[in-house]
Structure formats: structure tokens, C-alpha cells
Structure 1
Amino acid sequence: MILQNFLLAFPLFFLVGLGFFSAKVNLIDFNVGKGLAKFAFNIAIPCLLFQTIRGASNLPAPDWNIGLGYFGSCTLVFLFTFLIGRKSFHLRGDESTVFGMSAIFSNNVQLGIPLAISLLGENCVPSISFIVSLNVFLLWVAVTVGVELSRSREASVWGTCFEGLWRTIKNPVIIGILLGFLSSWTDIGLPGPFEKSLSLLSASATPVALFSVGTGLSRYKLSSHIRLTGASIVLKLFIQPTTVFFLCLLFGITGIERQAACLLASLPVGVNVYIMAQEFEVIEGPVANALLLTTCLSMLTVPLMTSLFNFL
């Protein structure tokens, strides 16, 4: 089963490696890769989700308890990681907050959506759409409030929630999801030429998104902070998905919902965590290390963890 999942995932991770190699040997300029990432995030992936969701009206709604399993795990692992940062690594509160995010914030869009649809099929789309929609809002709000409180500033929780909600609503991926559900509900079709254009854009989403992940990784270089980086790797690739799995068992989440939640949880650190580290000017080196190494290692750990959870 592990070999089968590895072979299924290999072409997808090969595209990541190809993007990394192409940028490293200057086959393409890094700025080109950055443009591809914007194209994937702003256009191709929203089109893919729109097309998939509006054509999935016959699929049953996901088990909403998936939110308890996935985000319950995020809460538990974040608190655990925060305490490790404070007690074991003697990090400040704001540093521990970003360190905690490195253990739970996955690369759900560029890597997670293509992987989930390719490995689990279109039946997983309602589940991953639900998780992705809440993920940006909840985790950005949590990290902003946590950092501001740890720095002894007067954090406006309501203001932060509003900012997080606005950030979520204007996110192109969320717009694609919402429009897909609206189109499915109203059963409004599109003229033939538009359908063809959307199909072409949707087909480009997976290869472009994965290739752009590789080109983005080429800008990061390994630094010191070995212990902190190692802790992030173990927490993100092993502790987080394992916690999601057991919470899914606790809440009776089975089938495609549990598979989708565990797959997204086992993904590498998302680039948003590095953006957080830059924005708050804390532990940028360890986060860059974790971003690079978890992405490389996930080629092995994602098939391993998904196979283990399927077996259990």
C-alpha cells in the first residue's frame, strides 16, 4: 500500500522537484516561478475548484464534524508546540506563536488541493473546500492575536477577526469555492466557449501549482537552528496528522472525510508561515528550514502516513 501511494504521488512531487531544479540551474528565472505561483493561486486553482464543485452537485455534503477533527487537532498541536517553544527552546511568546503555526499550517492550496484530487478523487472536494475555507481565516486570526498579546500590545480581537474575514472573502481560492457552490445550487450553465476555456485553465492548475512550489523553494537556503527545525519537522509531518487521525476516530469521522483531513494534515509547512515569520520578524531561519525540508521529506512521509491511516 505504501509503494502504491508512493507511485501515485511520485509524478506530483516530481513536478515540484522539476520546478526546484529548473530554478536552481537557471533554466527559468525565479520571478517567472513567482508569476506561475500567482497564476496558479489567482486563476488556475480557483477555476479548478469552481469546475469541480459545480459538477459535484450529486455528491453528499461532508460530515461537518471534520472541522472538529481537523481544527481540534490544530488547537491541541499548537498549544503543545507553543509550550515546547517556551519551555524547551526558551522562545519568546511571539516566537513560540509562529513556531506553533509551523506545526499546523499546511500547504493546503498549491500542494494540498492537487494532491487530494489526484489521490482521493473528486469525492473529496466538499471536505477539502470546507477545511481550506476556514483554514486561512482561523489560523491568521489566531496567530495575529497571539503575537500581539505576547508583545504586550492591546490586541483588538474584533478588529483582527474582521481583518481575517476580509482576507478570507477576497481570497481567489475562496471565491472559486463559493462561486462553484452557487453555480451548483442555481444549476446555471455556461456558454460552450467559456466552458472550454475553464476546462483548459482547470487542467493547468495541478502542473503549474506544483511546479511553482518547487521554484519557490529554490530561494530558501538551509541555516543553523537544527534542533528547532527538527522539532518543526516531527511535529508537522507526524504529530499533526496523527492527532487528526485520532480525533477523527473520536468524533466518528470515517471514509473520504477522514482521508481528506489526514492527507491535508500530513502536508508540509505552508509558505504562509514564512510570511508570518517575516511580517512579525521572528524565527525566519528555522521556518525557512522547515518549509524546505518538510516539502522534500513529504514525498516519503505523505504516502507513509496515508497508508498507515488507511491500514488502521
Structure 2
Amino acid sequence: MVAIFLKTVPFFALIALGYAAGRTRFFTAEATAYLTKFVFYFALSAMLFNFAANLTLDEVFDARFLTAYLWGCGIVYLIATAVGFMRGLSVPESAVEAQCAVIGNVGFLGIPMFVVLLGPESAGPMLMVLAADLIVFSSLIVILITGSRDGRIALSTLNTVALGLIKNPMIVSISLGIAWSATGWQLWTPVNEFLTILGAAATPGALFAIGASLAGKTAERVSVAGWLTFCKLVLHPAAVALSAIVLFPVADPFAVTVMVAAAAMPVAGNVYMLAQHYGVAPQRVSAAILVSTAISIVTLSAVIALLTGET
């Protein structure tokens, strides 16, 4: 575990640097927003396109892998939702808490980190996890919140979901990359080098942006944040491991390792964006992101070390 922990230290050190810059206001909230936009629309999109364009369709789509992952996520999603209902929460609040329990920071933290820790071959499984999170669960929370408020699922709700997917640069870049890969053509060398240079900015930029954004978050309602953190960092990887190993055995052990490690990522920042947009428990989500990210410094290393057999 110590060896894995030492490998993750530089990643979390970049997050800490961003956090310090945000707390001292050397990096303002406006600067953080623009850095996040650059990473989201340009650097990370270039990285995802480059990965997808250099993989075959079989490497970025495995029905059994996706089934196992979605079943594992579904188990935890239902647990978090049930606990929310038992606490007297509304459907929107329970949906937001369930989202915290299963959506990890795969795009900004997971992919850059795992490519270094587990190798470039982890890109394919990570793209499947990211696509499942964005397409299935980001759509589900919008449907649940708007449907519960309107009393029905209207066509406008489905239009909103579809438009959100079409406009999401991560979905677009992965889709375009897969489409290019399907042609069998190699990227023109200058284009490939351009994408490589731009994509290289994703890792430091994303990690710094995570830290700077955490500086504006608070740890209010720590008991709830602790429960959601437990769901995300313990229950989620455990349920995904059970699903991938026992319920729907995935043939490739390495793919299982990547899937379970991805499930051990802390709560993603885009959950806060959705909670804030719909006005549903944003402070609760903020606390869950802050607490889960801090604790994942240890737990993520432990999960990866357990999966890879490193000590």
C-alpha cells in the first residue's frame, strides 16, 4: 500500500496546491471557473478523444463489463435512496444523495491518475465507466428531479436530458474518437501531436482546478457527508467488486481492477453543479465532495493496493 500511496501523493499534492491557492484567494472563484472550463472543454476533451481514437470499439465497449458496473452502482443507488426516504427526504434530495453515492471523479481525477498508476491500457475500461456515469446516472437524476416536481415525466424533460448529453464535451469527444477509430485511419501526425500537447494539460489543470474548487466548499452536515462518503468510498467499490466477480463475472481481471478502483474515487464535482443548478441540497453535496476527497487519499491507495497485490 505504501508504494501505491507514494505514487498517488503527487496527484493529491496538486489538489492541495490548488486548494491553497483558492483558500488564500490567489486563485479567485472566477479564475477557478475559467480554468475548469478550459480543462473541461479543451484539455480533457483532447485527452479523451485521443484515447478513444487509438482504441478499437471492443476496447471501449464490453456489454458484460457495463452490466456488472451498472448493477453494482444500482445496488448502492437503491441503498442510498432508501436511507434518504427513511430519513424523510424528498425524491429530489434522495436522488442527489444517491448520485453522491455512485458518481466518482473519474473524468478529472480518475483517468489522469490511472493512466499513470495502472498504465495506458486502463483508458478503455475507464472510458466505459465515464460513459456509463454520464449517460445513465446524469440522465437519471435530471429525470427524477424534474419528474417529481412536475408530477410526471414530460417530453420536455427527455429533451433536456438529450440536449445535455449532446452538449457534454466528454460524451462528444469520446463519441468522435470512437467514430474515428472505426474508420481505421491513423490520425495525421501534426493533429496527433496537437492533441497530445493539449491533452497533457488535462492532468495538472484538472487536479489544480479540483483543489481550487474545494477551497470554496464547506463541511457542513458532517454526519450526512460521512454517510455519503462511506457509500462512495466503501459500499460502491464493494458492490461493484461483488457484481463484477460474482454476479456477472468479467473475464479480464485487469478490467475488474480498473472498474473497482474507479468505483473507489471520491464524489465528483459535477454532482455539485447539478445540485446547485436545481437548488437541491448543494451544501450537503459540497460537504460530501470535500470529505470524500480528503479521505480518499488513504482509501483509494488501499483499494488499488488490494486489487494489484502491491504492498
Both proteins in one fold, TM over 0.5 = yes
1:206 aligned onto 2:203: yes
Secondary structure of 1:103's aligned partner: helix
1:306 CA drift (Å): 2.0
1:25 CA drift (Å): 1.6
Residues 133 and 168 of structure 1 are in contact (CA less than 8 Å); yes or no, is this contact kept in structure 2? no
Residues 57 and 182 of structure 2 are in contact (CA less than 8 Å); yes or no, is this contact kept in structure 1? no
Separation (CA, whole Å) in 1 of partners of 2:224 and 2:184: 51
Note the alpha carbon deviations across 1:206-248, whole angstroms, 9 max, x for none: 111111111111111222x232111111111110111001100
Distance 1:221 1:125, change over 3 A: same
1:244 aligned onto 2:247: no
- Which residue, 151, 154, 163 being the options, matches 2:152? 154
1:35 aligned onto 2:34: yes
Match of 1:270 in 2: 268
Separation (CA, whole Å) in 2 of partners of 1:228 and 1:296: 16
Amino acid at match of 2:102: I
1:183 aligned onto 2:175: no
Secondary structure of 1:155's aligned partner: coil
Match of 1:232 in 2: 228
TM-score by length of 1: 0.91
Secondary structure of 1:163's aligned partner: helix
Amino acid at match of 2:210: V
Separation (CA, whole Å) in 2 of partners of 1:277 and 1:53: 30
Residues 108 and 264 of structure 1 are in contact (CA less than 8 Å); yes or no, is this contact kept in structure 2? yes
Gaps of at least 5 residues in structure 2 are none
State, as a whole percentage, how many aligned pairs show the same letter.
26
1:159 CA drift (Å): 4.5
Q: Map residues 66-105 of structure 1 onto 2, 5 A cutoff.
A: 66-87=65-86, 89-105=87-103
Match of 1:283 in 2: 281
Aligned residue-pair number: 308
Match of 1:51 in 2: 50
1:294 aligned onto 2:295: no
Secondary structure of 1:65's aligned partner: helix
Match of 2:136 in 1: 138
TM-score by length of 2: 0.91
1:141 CA drift (Å): 2.3
Q: CA RMSD in A?
A: 2.2
Between stretches 160-169 and 126-135, larger displacement belongs to 160-169
Gaps of at least 5 residues in structure 1 are none
Amino acid at match of 1:27: F
Separation (CA, whole Å) in 1 of partners of 2:61 and 2:136: 19
